[in-house]
Amino acid sequence: MGHLRTCPSGFSLLLQDMEGQELPYVLIDRIGGKHGVYEDHVEFLEKHFRLVTMKEYLENKTFLSKKITAIYMWYYKPVINEELLQSLPNLKILASSGVGIDHLDLNLLSSYSVKVSNTPFAVSTDTADMGMALMLASSRRLVEGYQLAVSPDTEYFPADWLGAEVSGASLGIVGMGTIGYKVAERAKAFEMKILYHNRNQRKKEEESAVGAIYCKKIDDLLQQSDFVLLSVNLTPQTRKLIGKRELELMKPTATLINISRGLVVDQDALVEALQNRVIKAAALDVTYPEPLPRDHPLLKLKNVIITPHIGSATKKTRRRMMENMTESIEASLAGLPVPNEVLQ
């Protein structure tokens, strides 16, 4: 007899009747703390899986190594290496939180016949919102404004304290995937002129829905944009995509916004460009490393705002990511097509 199990996001699986059967053993790094699975997700996860923390696994490796069939990778942990993969002969799937997969060696995982999933659709709306938040905060100098407002000896309404307008400005989106497109939808409401650069041109109807103009050459986008927003995946092709040359092509009044990965930008070149006012400002949700060393020059510049990689950090989105990861693991272990499988 089978029964229908419905996950909260509506994905349904016809599973074998599990009554009396053990739940699948799923390896996690830890519960709570930095990188740990959120404590308020645990009740849900434990209805589906027998969670095994790394600590528990290392203490009882002989028994657990054959039992574990999935890894639930919450924010880059546990770290996957050959030694771990060799020790898990029955591992079928690694479910990774978030959209980026640059922290994974897909060739290595596939050589152990391990499927990989991520959660691209769960994170796209919040990450696009974050791009807009950074653009607005940087152009209207919110952080500096807050400091001015709370300073004990400040004078209000200083004549030289002016920001730049977002409405009506031009926005160049580098990487027009799901997140980039959602940024464009938001920017349209701000009456921005939208340019984009992408490996492939979007369909005409998608372009006209947001009024976006395709730039086959990234240089054209860089030269024309008041704001350049990076929403590309980090791959060998996009590593340090924005370097000295590209920064010099940008307008001296332009702002660079990065919601993708720190390594898409040559950070030394960025520091130099900001110090020498080659570009006006930067607003970064991502850097390398994360966090930056406390004495890093980017942390000292007034024309930079930095947030701690919080693109998808809202309660609902993190919950949806966890549900998506659960669905992918269950589908894989049931031999069904895996939602959000990362195909090589």
Ligand X SMILES: O=C(O)C(=O)CO
Which active-site residues does the annotation give?
A: 261, 290, 309
**Binding range to ligand X, per CB under 6 A, among 93-101, 132-140, 142-150, 273-281:** 93-101
Q: Does 175 interact with ligand X (rule: CB under 6 A)?
A: no
Nearer to ligand X, 311 or 339 (CB): 311
| CA–CA separation, 164 and 155 (whole Å) | 21
Residues 306, 292: contact at Cβ < 8 Å? yes
Nearer to ligand X, 69 or 127 (CB): 127
For 47, the 3-state DSSP assignment is helix
Nearer to ligand X, 80 or 169 (CB): 80
Which residues are CB-contacts of 332 (< 8 A; sequence separation ≥ 6)?
70, 92, 93, 115, 117, 338
| CA–CA separation, 69 and 88 (whole Å) | 8
Which residue, judged by CB position, is nearest to ligand X in the bound state? 311
| CA–CA separation, 17 and 2 (whole Å) | 5
Nearest distance from residue 329's CB to ligand X, in Å? 18
- The residue among 63, 22, 55 whose CA lies nearest residue 36 is 55
Q: Does 258 interact with ligand X (rule: CB under 6 A)?
A: no
Burial status of residue 335 (CB atoms within 10 A of its CB: 0-12, 13-18, 19 or more): exposed
Site string for ligand X, 99-118 (x = CB under 6 A): xx------------------
Q: Does 27 interact with ligand X (rule: CB under 6 A)?
A: no
- Figure out which of the listed residues 78, 177, 180, 311 binds ligand X, where binding follows CB under 6 A: 311
Q: In the range 126-145, which residues lie near ligand X by CB under 6 A? A: 127
Residues that bind ligand X (CB under 6 A): 98-100, 123, 127, 311-312
